[in-house]
Structure 1
Amino acid sequence: MKFTDSHCHLDDNCFSQQLPDLLSQCDLHNISRIIIPSISPDNFQKVLSLTKQHHQNPIDLYCTLGIHPWFIKHLSISDLEKLSLLIIQEKQHIVGIGEIGLDGATSKHAAQFGQTPEENFKQQQLFFDYQLNLAQRNAMPVIIHHRQSHHHIVPFLKHYQLAKSGIIHGFTGSYQQAKDYIDLGFKLGVGSSISFSRAKKTINTFKRLPIEYLVLETDAPSMPLSHEIESNSTKLYQNNSSKSPANSPLNIPVIFQLLVNITGVDPLVLANQLERNVDDIFLT
């Protein structure tokens, strides 16, 4: 069986020193591909560099470029125009646009950015709309961040009807919300949320969904597994005295086994389908 981590911030500094070791460990644990989404103009070049330097060495790294709603407060339309140009220049090295999206919780704390909640959310919508338009023009899939914003995101997606659709990252919504995205051709990111026994709604949703619409992700180094579950991440530094990150791509097999338990699907059948789902989005 082979696995793909469809969402890992491998450019984070916590991975820098031991990256070759991490990639070798991933190879040993059958994690053959990692997709690295960018979050702001500050890390565009780093994710591109990682993709170019480490492709098939020893595993495949891919990247997406986009501006996350948490990081727009000091940005302007000129930053979006630079993103647009970079996508054209580097298209052969990019498999999608992301991480983009809308975050209702962030807008509620907009005062710390010198904005009202309404001003912040309006800026988020402007950036989201622009980047969806980029995806449409370049026939590329998207990776979408959501928090308290499903009812705002779906109308945007219905408007654009993206030919390549994409992934709803870190999905934790209801079955009906999942259906709204699936009906638009999107896959749902299955991550650490299913390791928490309290996440009954999310677990029951994934239990009811066709496996053709699921992909695995860690969101590492963020979103660690529940303390109830043994993490594989510590294996990153098994021969090193440095502190292990809270989460890493090495937890993909753990998340996979949790999903096997939830769905009741044969492990080999599930693993093969999850890989096809990633291929359908990014590599066809």
Structure 2
Amino acid sequence: MIDSHAHLDLADFDHDRAELFNAMALKGINSALIPAISEQRWENQLAIAQQYHCYFALGIHPWYVPEDINASLVSLENMLAKHAANDRLVAVGECGLDKLKPDFDRQQQLLSGQLKIAINMEYPVILHGVKCHQELLSLLNRFPNPKGGVIHGFYGAPELASRYIELGYKLGIGGLLLNPKAKKLRKTITELDIKHFIIETDSPSMTPYNATEKRNTPLILPNVASEIANLQKKTTVFILERLNKNFSQLFELS
């Protein structure tokens, strides 16, 4: 298993990161993709990714819109170019839109710039979208990316899922699926082909509703995979094989 979205570089893991990676290995979770959050944290993120042999993406999260968007976009482009030879750099992101946060117009400016960079440098994108699917779909139509990407933390119904899929995007499925009240998401998993999904945790965030620990970790990943298998009425082995294949295809891993 590979956790396709885990912020394992954050301070939440500083006290037990090595122990967590050991526990992940024992559960068959052999890697993770660490997405970026802000320009100021790129260097630490890259150091953690290198130390623990993780995949990574570079980008700017909509919660961290910089003062000078154009300057930060230049920095992002330079950083991507600097690490282009690293085969563990697989995407641009985490980027996106979030209507629960301020500066929505500037968020759209920042995302547009990152979408252009991803297209020009031939990377898929990892997208965050909260309460803004119409605006996000509009931008993805405006900046079509042949490499596609993933809608991280997807929680919507099959109709919304299909609109993203038509644009070449996969759906990141996490701990929300373990909540029986997540009816729209569970319907999406039941009705759509497994080829459209990858699994993630968004650690340390998006802790499942019934978890005893506040901090989320990749250790919940087997539960997510098992629930997908249950809803699709397939074996967990089949589901895991296909999810791994989806990850490898999306991020063009050999």
For the criterion TM > 0.5, the same-fold answer is yes
Task: Say which one has the larger Rg.
Answer: 1
Shift of 1:73: 5.2
- Does the residue aligned with 1:47 lie in a helix, a strand or coil? helix
Taking the TM superposition and a 5 Å limit, the aligned residue runs for 1:1-284 are: 3-55=1-53, 61-72=54-65, 74-93=67-86, 94-106=89-101, 110=102, 120-227=103-210, 246-284=215-253
- Does the residue aligned with 1:92 lie in a helix, a strand or coil? coil
2:180 and 2:105 mapped to 1: Cα distance?
Answer: 36
1:73 and 1:86 mapped to 2: Cα distance?
Answer: 16
* Structure 1: gaps (5+ residues): 56-60, 111-119, 232-243
1:168 and 1:103 mapped to 2: Cα distance?
Answer: 13
Task: In structure 1, give the amino acid aligned to 2:28.
Answer: N
2:85 and 2:206 mapped to 1: Cα distance?
Answer: 30
1:137 and 1:73 mapped to 2: Cα distance?
Answer: 22
Shift of 1:21: 1.1
2:152 and 2:63 mapped to 1: Cα distance?
Answer: 15
Cα deviation digits, residues 165-205 of structure 1 (max 9, x gap):
11100001121110011111111011111111211111111
Shift of 1:155: 1.9
Cα deviation digits, residues 14-55 of structure 1 (max 9, x gap):
111211111111111000120000111121111111122222
* Superposition misfits of 4+ residues, deviation over 3 angstroms: none
TM-score normalized with structure 1 length: 0.85
Q: Is 1:190–1:215's contact at 8 Å kept on the other side of the alignment?
A: yes
Cα deviation digits, residues 239-261 of structure 1 (max 9, x gap):
xxxxx662101110111111111
Q: Which residue number corresponds to residue 235 of structure 1?
A: none
1:224 and 1:277 mapped to 2: Cα distance?
Answer: 24
Percent identity over the alignment?
32
2:94 and 2:111 mapped to 1: Cα distance?
Answer: 10
TM-score normalized with structure 2 length: 0.95
* TM-aligned CA distance change 1:133 to 1:146, over 3 Å: same
Shift of 1:160: 2.1
1:66 and 1:163 mapped to 2: Cα distance?
Answer: 18
1:163 and 1:51 mapped to 2: Cα distance?
Answer: 26
Task: In structure 2, give the amino acid aligned to 1:250.
Answer: L
